[in-house]
A and B are shown apart, each in its own frame.
Chain A
Amino acid sequence: MPRILTIIVAGLLSAVPFTAMAQVNVFACEPEWAALAEEIGGAKIKTFSATHARQDPHYIRARPSLIAKVRRADLIICSGAELEVGWLPILLQKARPQVQPNGIGHLMASQYVPLLGAGANVDRSMGHVHAAGNPHIHLNPHHMVSIAAQVSDRLAKIDRANAAHYQSRLQDFTQRWQQALAQWETRATNLKGAQVVVHHSSLSYLIDWLQMRTVASLEPKPGIPPTTSHLESLLQQLNAAPANLMLRTPYEPDTASLWLSSKTNIPAVVLPYTIDGAANTGDLFALYEATLAVLLDKCRC
């Protein structure tokens, strides 16, 4: 018998049989959805986030570990709107029918909120544009309310025995969230009208919520890294009409932002963007607190 067959058999035997677990397995494509699921599910669920704050969610490899996690998932929560189109389909190939598109365990958050930039007529010469609309929806806190209701609803259907648990945690979360939201909006009034330079359209919903204005983007076209000529033209533009802030996420490279900041004296600010994108951003409440704190601190507005 060939050696390779022996190895294959050994591989088979080493695979420990899966024993059913009481907890609902939730696979989140991004950390913000894992955090939201934890708010609703508490101890009744086990969450796993495919990405962390320093990873660009557009460009994730369909790693072996992710394939294994999705195979065992009861519910997957992703941003949708084509954000994960480069890797999620591979992960789903060997997963359960219920987490496939249109299944009860397949939750694409962007389907439940109004999208910015949707319906535009696009082609690839315009860069990495999502025809379905901008998928970075989690930075408008109003969206969390309707998505949380969906998470609770899906969990209740997947795990009927604990439906009341999910319902009551949803109520509790929604109430605390609405209170916090009102406070954030009061605190953020100064930011209204602030002019910001962004790296990519990753922060559009935050800017939209706080009624700030995007005046320039470091990427000449979405998904195309900043070029020298583009930065030169931005420098002229910003010298003529200065902006208040230059924003980027932890996963976007700092070079272009720091260079332009040093030339224009516009503060270059890294926002946490998602869970654990900065210190003390372990849950959704803390994420928004930290985001507002850094914006209010750095914005001379």
Chain B
Amino acid sequence: MFKIKTAASAALIAVLSASPALAADADVNALRNEVEKMRQAYEQRINQLEAKLNQLEGNRAQVGTTANTPPATSRRRIADNSFNPSIGMILNGQFRQYSQSESEMPGFAVSHEGERGEEGLGLGHSEISLSANVDDKFLASSTLAIAEHEGETETELEEAYIQTLPGAGLPVGMSVKAGRAFWTLGYLNEHHSHADDFADRPLPYRVFMNHAYNDDGLQVSYLLPTDGYAEIGGGVYRGDDFPYGGNSGSGSGAWSAYARIGGDIGDNQSWRVGAYMLSGEAEGGRVSNEETVTFTGDSDLEIIDLRYTWAPTGNARDREVIVQAEYFQREEDGVYTADPGVVEATVNGKSDDGWYLQGVYKFAPQWRVGARYSELSSDATPTDLIGTDLDSEGHDPEVLSLMVDWTNSEFSRVRLQLNREDLSGGETDEQAVLQYVMSIGAHGAHKY
């Protein structure tokens, strides 16, 4: 504004000096002096104002650098709704086709999440999740899964937990999680199945954990202050979710412990290995095999997992190899009842195991191929159970899976998977699964 005035006064001088020379010299000189005075006054005023402006700007910069907290320049919203919970939804649709009309896995107590999915077009789990920081000390999160099972729409509360935030005053690296959650137990268990690399879970998860272990409980984890990654943790649980069941709440329930370490090899490879154990009692009876088999007693599970990732070009977005393997061993002491009320057998140290190994190769930014082999082996069938669902007839179930998937963006994926299931030693079940997984809304960062 003052610049404009300077310009205006300059223009005035120009106009005046160009005015006709008819006016007397004295008048002209008087006018010139007047204008000169005006110009000086303006320039002085402008200089004063500019000095003041500079001073104010200096002060502001100082305020910015001396305040004890970071300047409040984060007027932009970062990442999610700060006050409203982040809301997200995962949609998962499938088309499955099987060569066999029946799929049985003799020798194992399998519950319904462990069975093969329903044939034909259908929805898998649709998940709705809500999460937010409760305050400066806690975070709360819940995931509701909606699925069709035998013609009925079932709603399952997959997760509903609170977790301490780093500001909660616990030692650095320690965190407590309570409620219902996919607990840290093996590699896949703590991941939602939409993040899996295959359309279904490998055999050990289907049989030993009925897809995943998300009992009600409390888990503590502690990241050790070491240069490399080392984490330990453990928890206590109600003992109501498979492999347990029917716990009245008065008994011991179940507990777990784990330790894992990990690191990098050079710039482009990383790994993690872990050892886990889950021990507990199916106090009121674990029901499986379409409610024909019940187990009451102690069931312990030991798991070892390995994950290795390699980005051949350095950029995992571009090309990546992922190798993953887990080994499960289960030991049970208790009573199996098959065909209710008909056969009862006491088992002591019944030891079953299973493992899988999978490799996924991303050969182009949007395309991946993968192969997985999983296998189970059951202990010798107790004599009393011969002829029941728990009679393995000496056969070890095995499944070979191949998949190819296309990822348009990190929010959408379409996958084709072929399985060759040999579960009973009878006819081989050839399966084809076409699946989409899409996510809308907030989508939490993925774990390693």
Contacts and interface: CB of A to CB of B under 8 A. Distances in A.
B223 A8 contact: no
A62 B259 contact: no
Contacts of A61: 270, 309, 316, 446, 448
Given A61-B309, A64-B263, A132-B77, A2 B444 contact: no
Contact of A64 (B68, B272, B318, B409): B272
19 contacts: A5-B277, A8-B258, A11-B230, A12-B232, A18-B224, A54-B314, A59-B315, A59-B317, A62-B446, A62-B448, A65-B263, A81-B78, A90-B445, A124-B411, A128-B409, A128-B410, A132-B78, A150-B65, A253-B365
A112 B408 contact: no
A87 interface: yes
Interface in A4-20: 4-5, 7-8, 11-12, 14-18
Main secondary structure of the interface of A (DSSP, over half): loop
A92 interface: yes
Given A63-B270, A68-B228, A85-B79, A111 B74 contact: yes
B349 interface: no
Nearest to A54: B314
6 closest Cβ contacts across the A-B interface?
A64-B262, A54-B314, A64-B229, A18-B225, A11-B259, A59-B317
A71 B409 contact: no
A71 B173 contact: yes
Interface in A56-93: 56, 58-65, 67-68, 71-72, 80-82, 85-90, 92-93
Interface of B: 65, 68-71, 73-74, 76-79, 165-167, 172-175, 221, 223-232, 257-264, 267, 270-272, 275-277, 279, 300, 302-304, 309, 311, 313-318, 364-366, 408-411, 440, 444-448
The CB with the most chain A CB atoms within 10 A, among B172, B263, B445, is that of B445
A65 B230 contact: no
Contacts of A4: 257, 275-277, 302-304
B242 to A, nearest CB: 20
A81 B165 CA distance: 22
Nearest to B76: A132
A95 interface: yes
Contact of B313 (A54, A97, A101, A108): A54
A86 B445 contact: yes
Contacts of B258: 8
A158 interface: no
A82 B364 CA distance: 25
Interface string A8-45: 10011011111000000000000000000000000000
A54 B315 contact: yes
Contact of A85 (B223, B228, B445): B445
A210 interface: no
Contacts of B445: 62, 85-90
A157 B71 CA distance: 14
Contacts of A88: 445
Nearest to A64: B262
A118 B261 contact: no
A298 interface: no
Contact of A65 (B68, B79, B228): B228
